[in-house]
Amino acid sequence: MVIDGHAHTSGEFCWADEVARIMDELGVDKIILCPGPINTPKKWPVPDITKIFKKRGFGFWGNRLLRLARRRVLREFDIVASNAHVAELARQFPGRIHQAYWTDPSAPGFLEELKKRRAEWRFVAVKLHQCFQKFEVDSAAMHELAPWAGAEGLPIFIHIYARRDAEALVRLASAHPGTTFVVAHMLGLEVFVRAGREALPNLYFDVSPPNLTPIGRLRRALEAFGADRLLLGSDTPYGRDNLKKIIARVRGLDIPDADKALILGENALRIYNLAD
């Protein structure tokens, strides 16, 4: 079982037929798609920086670059249309393509809209991104979202902006033990390691992308949290052949095959409730 737990409807993943073709080519069973944020077939050949930044990769400093691009992106990013585009791709390949719904906790009425779309589209995760939406991790809105998501069995997949947000996520996850949280790109890993695996039983880590996140960081997360807390992700299309490379990276780890199977897909199958 191979599940790409983090990809976007841009570049080669802009259209359902192309997504399915690449999945077939690489032996991928299921994929969880987020909006682009710009849904375009344009290629995004983000360079491999892991040979230069061997320990932390792009880390939080990379978020500053994304925040700088925020204004331009949001001019072109219609969150309603983008979520609808992902839902349409999932409709075309039910059971293979699954939707992660991107929401903004700072928007008025966001939770009512989320409930409405959940009934309509049956997405499998809630996607949050602090580089593009300026919300606080421990805000009142997040404390409303977390218990609802937990009751619905929806993991909250979050790209945090800074160290303080990782610290806030520790508090949020601790306050809502019935909700699963997935940290994009293992950002803030040092904060979570300090808090400890046992203190955060509902916290998981997306290991994407291979071009921006050094393998040493994956090994650090594996050592601190175990294979049962790591999820395969490609962050396609932001790089070249990300999905192929991240699968190869996990398969090349010096760990038991059973642990590789957990990271490659079994963990995602469980926490996203994807079993047919």
Residue 19's pLDDT band, with cuts at 50, 70 and 90, is very high
Radius of gyration of the chain (CA): 17
* Residue 124, pLDDT above cutoff 70: yes
* Residue 52, pLDDT above cutoff 80: no
Of 16-25, 40-49, 73-82, the range with the highest mean pLDDT is 16-25
Phi and psi at residue 146, to the nearest 5° = -55, -50
Among the listed residues 77, 117, 116, 123, the one whose alpha carbon sits nearest the alpha carbon of residue 100? 123
Taken in order of first residue, the domains within the chain and their CATH numbers are: 3-271 (3.20.20.140)
CB 135 within 8 A of CB 128: yes
pLDDT digits (tens, 9 = 90+) for 232-259: 999 999 999 999 999 999 999 999 999 9
Mean pLDDT of all residues belonging to the chain: 93
Range 119-138 average pLDDT: 95
* Residue 36, pLDDT above cutoff 90: no
pTM of the model: 0.96
End-to-end CA distance of the chain: 12
* Residue 226, pLDDT above cutoff 90: yes
* Residue 264, pLDDT above cutoff 80: yes
Range 141-159 average pLDDT: 98
Q: How far apart are CA 155 and CA 152, in angstroms?
A: 9
Residue 49's pLDDT band, with cuts at 50, 70 and 90, is confident
SS (H, E, C) the chain: CCEEEEEECCHHHCCHHHHHHHHHHHCCCEEEEECCCCCCCCCECCCCCCCCCCCCCCHHHHHHHHHHHHHHHHHHCCHHHHHHHHHHHHHHCCCCEEEEEECCCCCCCHHHHHHHHHHHHCCCEEEEECCCCCCCCCCHHHHHHHHHHHHHCCCEEEECCCHHHHHHHHHHHHHCCCCCEEEHHHCCHHHHHHHCCCCCCCEEEECCCCCCCCHHHHHHHHHHHCHHHEECCCCECECCCHHHHHHHHHHCCCCCHHHHHHHHHHHHHHHCCCCC
Phi and psi at residue 199, to the nearest 5° = -75, -15
Range 167-188 average pLDDT: 98
Beta bridge partners of 127: 102, 157
Q: How far is CA 150 from CA 65, 110, 223, 244, in A?
A: 32, 17, 27, 32
* Residue of 224 and 73 predicted with greater confidence: 224
pLDDT computed for residue 191 by the predictor: 97
Residue 54's pLDDT band, with cuts at 50, 70 and 90, is low
* Residue 270, pLDDT above cutoff 80: yes
pLDDT computed for residue 40 by the predictor: 80
pLDDT computed for residue 55 by the predictor: 66
pLDDT computed for residue 74 by the predictor: 67
